[in-house]
């Protein structure tokens, strides 16, 4: 039975108008919050969305600021957060981006309202701005999506260990299935059914200091010595494509590399089924939902030594390599494709899928969140509803909105 109907202010960059990692995480987090506390009231403030694209419910109200001119939006958004918080005195502010903690810290000074924030990846690494560092120090809880991010926060900021907890990413597991290689994609890309295919799904961002696909391209000549028919597919769009095309031409890899460009969410599961191995040895991933999507498709996965350590459970669910070690990347990719990598789970598609869902599916995400909330001031004011009492008052996010 609910002892108190809490008021939660939920601050996010957006939920609907743009699909990125933070936006998807924010949707899952809001949905899980409502499942833990379905009778709570939610005021949802979205900085960049113009309007919600899901049905509102009696206990969820959206405030969208994306219609404002960009030069004014940030100031008006922050002022609205503090003004509404001052009048409503929420039980908890939960923000899904560190930059919003400055406003949360100011509201806490005025009203004593506790605030939580989410730390995703590089935006939380090596934070130098004094105002943001101070806001992080004042946070009641920081939810890092991986141990890698949590550890960096603890090492780099003046934080107490009890302030930082891990709430790993989750994903829409039902979108991904184990299936044969799609005939239409084999035909589209001129591939044979038994041809070994490596896949990377990543944005092609010229401004990033490290690109995982560069490392795989550097490893390909050595891989081809053992597997002459290997083909590398890169899915993603961005301003790094011209440089990437020149690099492929300089290394004379045009016959074994395909830049697939942008693909729709609807077609993404087919690309996972097309590959024999998903590889993204990155240094920039706070977690990497794509690893989970590949695992749910029953595919072996290779990741780097960043947030992928969590996604692949320290190597239990996949292979981990030093992203800067090209010989190690080449050797590991070759071993996996030849079936000789010393982790039998990589060759058991159904077991891989089951393990990924057990560790990172929505039920695990909700259970972890419920445990964290139970130990908070909010948890002491309100008891979670029994599962049978969860009602249609929840805002329903569809696969299209995700």
What count of residues does the chain have?
402
Rounded Cα distance, 138 and 119, in Å: 15
Q: Residue 368: CB partners within 8 Å, gap ≥ 6? A: 166, 167, 168
The answer on pLDDT for 8 being more than 70 is yes
pLDDT at 33 over 70: yes
The partner residues of 8 in beta bridges, in order of sequence, read 42, 92
At residue 121 the predicted structure's pLDDT band, cuts being 50, 70 and 90, is: confident
Span 192-211, average pLDDT: 93
Burial zone of 56 (CB within 10 Å; 0-12 exposed, 13-18 middle, 19+ buried)? exposed
- Residue 137 scores a pLDDT above 80: yes
Looking at the chain, the whole-number percentage of residues with pLDDT higher than 90 is 82
| Residue 223: count of CB within 10 angstroms of its CB | 21
Q: What is the pLDDT of residue 4?
A: 64
Q: How far apart are CA 19 and CA 147, in angstroms?
A: 24
Residue 284: its pLDDT value, please?
81
Q: Which two tokens stand for residue 91?
A: 């039980």
pLDDT of residue 96: 97
The set of residues, in sequence order, having a beta carbon less than 8 Å from that of 231 and lying 6+ positions away, is 189, 191, 195, 196, 197, 198, 256, 257, 258
For 30-50, what is the mean pLDDT? 95
Strands 115-119 and 92-95, bridge-based pairing: parallel
Q: Confidence class of residue 1 from pLDDT cuts 50, 70 and 90?
A: very low
63, 46 Cβ separation under 8 angstroms: yes
- The neighbour count for residue 97, using CB atoms within 10 Å, is 20
> Residue 186 — pLDDT band, cuts 50, 70, 90?
very high
**CA end-to-end distance (rounded Å), the chain:** 32
pLDDT at 377 over 90: no
Hey, which of 53-62, 155-164, 319-328 has the most confident mean pLDDT? 319-328
Q: Which residues of 30-46 are buried (b: 16+ CB within 10 A; e: fewer)?
A: bbbbbbbbbbbbbbbbb
Task: With beta carbons less than 8 A apart as the criterion, state whether 292 and 312 touch.
Answer: no
Q: Where does the pLDDT of residue 388 fall: very low under 50, low under 70, confident under 90, or very high at 90 and above?
A: very low
pLDDT value at residue 381: 67
What CA–CA distance (Å, rounded) separates 65 from 76?
A: 8
35 in Cβ contact with 366 (< 8 Å): yes
Closest CA to 202 of 303, 108, 61: 303
pLDDT > 60? residue 401: no
How far apart are alpha carbons 120 and 22 in whole angstroms? Answer: 7
280 beta partners: 303
Q: What is the distance, to the nearest Å, from the Cα of residue 58 to the centroid of all Cα atoms in its chain? A: 29
Q: What is the pLDDT of residue 384?
A: 54
- 3-class DSSP state of 114: coil
Chain segment 73-119, per-residue pLDDT in tens: 999 999 999 999 999 999 999 999 999 999 999 999 999 999 999 99
Q: In whole angstroms, what is the distance from residue 52 CA to residue 63 CA?
A: 9
Instruction: Say whether pLDDT at 52 is over 60.
Output: yes
**For 197, what's the count of Cα atoms within 13 Å in the CB-facing half-sphere?**
24
Reported as a pLDDT band with limits 50, 70 and 90, residue 281 is very high
Strand partners, 94: 10, 116
DSSP class of residue 170 equals -
**pLDDT band for position 362 (cuts 50, 70, 90):** very high
Rounded CA Rg of the chain: 22
Indicate the average pLDDT of the chain.
92
Residue 231 and residue 195 in contact, taking contact as beta carbons nearer than 8 Å: yes
Angle ∠(231,237,243) on CA atoms, nearest 5: 75
Q: Indicate if the pLDDT at residue 375 is higher than 50.
A: yes
CA distances from 364 to 65, 397, 401 (A): 32, 18, 21
């Amino acid at each position: 039975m609910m002892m108190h109907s809490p008021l939660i202010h939920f601050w996010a960059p957006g939920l609907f108008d743009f699909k990125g990692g933070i936006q998807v995480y924010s949707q899952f987090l809001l949905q899980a919050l409502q499942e833990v506390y379905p009778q709570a009231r939610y005021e949802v403030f979205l900085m960049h969305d113009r309007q919600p694209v899901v049905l509102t419910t009696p206990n969820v109200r959206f405030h969208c600021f994306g219609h404002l001119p960009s030069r004014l939006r940030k100031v008006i958004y922050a002022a609205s957060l503090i003004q509404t918080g001052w009048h409503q005195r929420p039980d908890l502010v939960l923000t899904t981006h560190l930059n919003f903690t400055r406003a949360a810290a100011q509201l806490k000074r005025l009203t004593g309202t506790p605030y939580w924030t989410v730390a995703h990846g590089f935006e939380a690494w090596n934070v130098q701005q004094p105002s943001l560092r101070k806001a992080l120090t004042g946070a009641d809880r920081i939810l890092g999506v991986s141990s890698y991010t949590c550890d960096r926060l603890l090492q780099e900021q003046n934080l107490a260990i009890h302030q930082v907890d891990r709430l790993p990413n989750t994903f829409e597991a039902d979108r991904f299935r184990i299936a044969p290689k799609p005939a239409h994609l084999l035909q589209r890309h001129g591939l044979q059914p038994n041809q070994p295919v490596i896949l990377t799904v990543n944005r092609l961002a010229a401004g990033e200091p490290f690109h995982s696909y560069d490392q795989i391209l550097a490893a390909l000549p050595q891989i081809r010595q053992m597997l002459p028919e290997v083909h590398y597919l890169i899915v993603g769009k961005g301003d790094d494509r011209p440089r990437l095309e020149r690099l492929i031409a300089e290394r004379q890899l045009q016959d074994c590399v395909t830049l697939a460009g942008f693909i729709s969410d609807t077609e993404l599961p087919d690309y996972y089924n097309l590959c024999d191995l998903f590889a993204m040895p990155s240094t920039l991933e706070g977690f990497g939902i794509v690893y989970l999507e590949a695992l749910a498709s029953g595919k072996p996965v290779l990741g780097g030594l960043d947030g992928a350590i969590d996604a692949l459970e320290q190597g239990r669910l996949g292979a981990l390599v030093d992203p800067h070690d090209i010989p190690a990347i080449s050797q590991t990719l070759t071993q996996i494709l030849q079936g000789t990598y010393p982790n039998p789970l990589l060759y058991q598609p159904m077991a891989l899928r089951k393990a990924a869902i057990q560790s990172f599916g929505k039920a695990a995400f909700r259970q972890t969140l419920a445990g964290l909330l139970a130990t908070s001031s909010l948890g002491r004011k309100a008891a979670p509803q029994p599962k049978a009492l969860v009602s249609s008052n929840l805002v329903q996010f569809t696969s299209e909105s995700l």
